[in-house]
Structure 1
């Protein structure tokens, strides 16, 4: 029976279905923090620390109203808060642009498509509990593969080559 059908066959035990599992889909690479966001976060931290230190040094400002004192404390957090917000906007915009579009991500997706195609072409022999690939699976003139033990089947799917043939 074809491997994709065997994968969902409820009569097969769990170990066989795990050995016949499809290749894992690649996940997009991580996106590092954008340099502009790092600069904005650093400046925000600097402004926050200097503002807090200045407010603590000035202490209770004699003669100033409580509204003025509250405004001074709000001002300490206002500019750093704006800078952090802008930094997050810059980071999210660059993350959306970069996720899944790098050359490496596109190459991995192409390899995964070829591996998934090879996995779909595999067959399971239920009488001897081995897998094989029919003739022409890997290239038009490739012979059928010999019986493959189930624990070696994922390796054959991941390499995608017929015996005696190397990819060029």
Structure 2
């Protein structure tokens, strides 16, 4: 199939974008602009704000308790063993409770967010597949250094696109509507 560039109308320097990437003469900037869309990776699950606050307060109280234990100069010999144990281990009680609650909040939140991310994976994969099909339909004119989509390359009824500057090619691919519109016409 002889595909002509919409800018210079010469078919001899036009190649599909995937084939153009195999050309070792392309410089890094052009190669980066013509690169395929990245496959959706795993969703990064952030820590819940409430668990961050709880763990931070627990850490601060623990540090204050340890500092107060180290600075206490009072003699505890006249007190009962229960009081001495409470004085020493009581410092760790509230921070321990706060840390436990913070970890439970974190675990429940992570479970909920992971489930939500896994439910959205098929939609992200389908969108990526569409981006790849649009990317594979693109052509590069090595004479003008523009990209374009020939008529019917993405859909049978899609019109040919105008010449696309290489800097705009990734956004046309990611929008997925590059070949579906012609400049100056409304999308149908």
Query: TM-score if structure 1 supplies the norm length?
Result: 0.65
In the alignment of these two chains, the number of paired residues is 166
Unaligned runs of 5+ in 2: 1-14
Measured on the aligned residues, the alpha-carbon RMSD in Å equals: 4.3
- 1:63 corresponds in structure 2 to 78
- The answer as to whether partners of 2:16 and 2:136 remain within 8 angstroms in 1 is yes
Shift of 1:86: 4.3
Which secondary structure state, in structure 1, belongs to the residue aligned with residue 116 of structure 2? coil
CA offsets, 1:54-75, max 9 Å, x none?
9678943242489974663233
Shift of 1:143: 2.2
CA offsets, 1:28-87, max 9 Å, x none?
36646165x468548847975996799678943242489974663233214522541442
Shift of 1:121: 2.0
- 1:2 corresponds in structure 2 to 16
- 2:130 corresponds in structure 1 to 114
Which secondary structure state, in structure 2, belongs to the residue aligned with residue 131 of structure 1? strand
- The answer as to whether partners of 2:141 and 2:147 remain within 8 angstroms in 1 is yes
Q: Could you tell me which of 84, 95, 101 is aligned with 1:80?
A: 95
For the pair 1:95 / 2:110, whether they are aligned, the reply is yes
- The answer as to whether partners of 2:139 and 2:148 remain within 8 angstroms in 1 is yes
For the pair 1:20 / 2:41, whether they are aligned, the reply is no
Shift of 1:123: 1.8
For the pair 1:128 / 2:123, whether they are aligned, the reply is no
Shift of 1:17: 0.5
State the distance in 1 between where 2:56 and 2:141 align: 62
